Chain A
């Protein structure tokens, strides 16, 4: 007897066979001609500068943390949603309390500015006003 997840597993295996078949064929038929220049990292044709595993913005880390909290919340919401029609008002009020606690945290994160990302500040070029030619000429003549 095959369970439903067993079918999913077979699907995964057959999919993997398709992909592996493609990769092995490609490995057999493609050329293998490499030299050191070919194997450098791409940096617009220049020699790569420094290490690529650079420091990055802390915001990515903060977003991942906030995501974790909300994702766990969603996992709690799913079983609630399935039985909601049977439980009625009781379930509604209970979930309101749960959501209210979470929304306090959401408001805190928002107010603290962790959801704000750097906006570009466009530099609008300032053009000096030039005098019209006639006026400039007239000034020159009077001097």
Chain B
């Protein structure tokens, strides 16, 4: 191979994408089974062992369904919106480090697709782009419910984006870098940011719930009043793409929470065990997956156990509680750093 670097990048990208899409399909199954357990039902368990082939059956069904675009809709934007949503949701994962280095076939491979030097700004930029998918779909459907859903969603997402950005700043001040792998390395041992930045952690998690439109904040698609909101007029695979992007967003935000606050791929006692390098790298990846899994379970359990906010409560929380809290956290962090210098 003349250009091994390019080749390695390509393989990494394809592997990560395939794992992500499979993981997303199984998160859907996990959520349905867990929701069923919480609500004292059985849930999908017929297709394959314990319903393990259910995601496949779902995809097949969505592919075979007719795609209905209302006559009054703007066809081009109606088609474009789910593609924006899914590509944003997938591309955010490109900067998340899921392990340290690994040596395979004599090549030292970095377990991160792109170590962009402005990693956090990249993540914030892409989450802002995510608003477009939802808002455009709401506008282009030419349906009153969709328009209201899209509007609510854009107002909600921009409100919580502020809190999200401000709660990361404490982490950046501690690490002194915007690169995600440097932030992970700064959290070695037990110096996880969840302990150093507890308020930042809580506000970030709340903002992540709002950005992914998950349940306490799922007003854009509130079933009883907006009949699914921005995707009322979507069917077939285009609906499937929205569904996929919602779960991909959830996976990505869990990965980002893990990276920024839970020490990423680090486990404190792992490096002291004296394992061979190859196994150590594998355990790092395992630790990362485990942490992401725990955060995912938290997301799912919250969804099925907590009632929905009212819209004015949602905006009050975003603008009058989260924003002052994150600014206060920022000043407190700055003050404490000054004291310890």
Interface residues of A (CB under 8 A from B): 1-2, 4-5, 7-8, 10-12, 14-16, 18-19, 22-23, 25-27, 29-34, 36, 38-44, 48, 52-54, 56, 59-60, 63-64, 67, 70-71, 74-75, 77-78, 81-86, 88-89, 92, 95-96, 99, 103, 106, 110, 115-120
Which residues does chain A contribute within 8 Å of B71, judged by CB atoms?
36, 39-40
Q: Name the one of A33, A67, A118 contacting B159, with C-beta atoms under 8 angstroms.
A: A67
In the complex where A85-B341, A119-B312 touch, is A74 in contact with B169 (Cβ < 8 A)? yes
B325 at the interface (CB under 8 A from A): no
In the complex where A30-B66, A63-B159, A67-B162 touch, is A81 in contact with B172 (Cβ < 8 A)? yes
Q: Are A30 and B311 in contact (CB under 8 A)?
A: no
Which residues does chain B contribute within 8 Å of A118, judged by CB atoms?
312
Q: Which residue of chain B lies nearest to A5 when distances are taken between CB atoms in the complex? A: B116
Q: Are A39 and B176 in contact (CB under 8 A)?
A: no
Interface residues of B (CB under 8 A from A): 5-6, 9-10, 13-14, 16-17, 21, 62-73, 83, 86-87, 90-91, 94-95, 113-117, 120-122, 124, 139, 141-148, 151, 154-155, 158-159, 161-162, 165-166, 169, 172-173, 176-178, 227, 232-233, 236-238, 241, 310-312, 315-316, 319-320, 323, 327, 330-331, 334-335, 337-338, 341
A15 and B176 CA atoms in complex are apart in Å by 32
A15 and B104 CA atoms in complex are apart in Å by 25
Q: Are A11 and B91 in contact (CB under 8 A)?
A: yes
Q: Which residue of chain B lies nearest to A15 when distances are taken between CB atoms in the complex? A: B90
A39 and B141 CA atoms in complex are apart in Å by 11
A123 and B334 CA atoms in complex are apart in Å by 48
Which residues does chain A contribute within 8 Å of B68, judged by CB atoms?
34, 38-39
Q: Which residue of chain A lies nearest to B128 when distances are taken between CB atoms in the complex? A: A71
Q: What are 20 A-B pairs with beta-carbon distances under 8 A? A: A4-B117, A7-B114, A10-B10, A10-B13, A11-B91, A15-B86, A19-B241, A22-B237, A26-B63, A26-B237, A29-B63, A30-B65, A40-B70, A41-B141, A70-B162, A71-B162, A77-B165, A85-B173, A119-B312, A120-B310
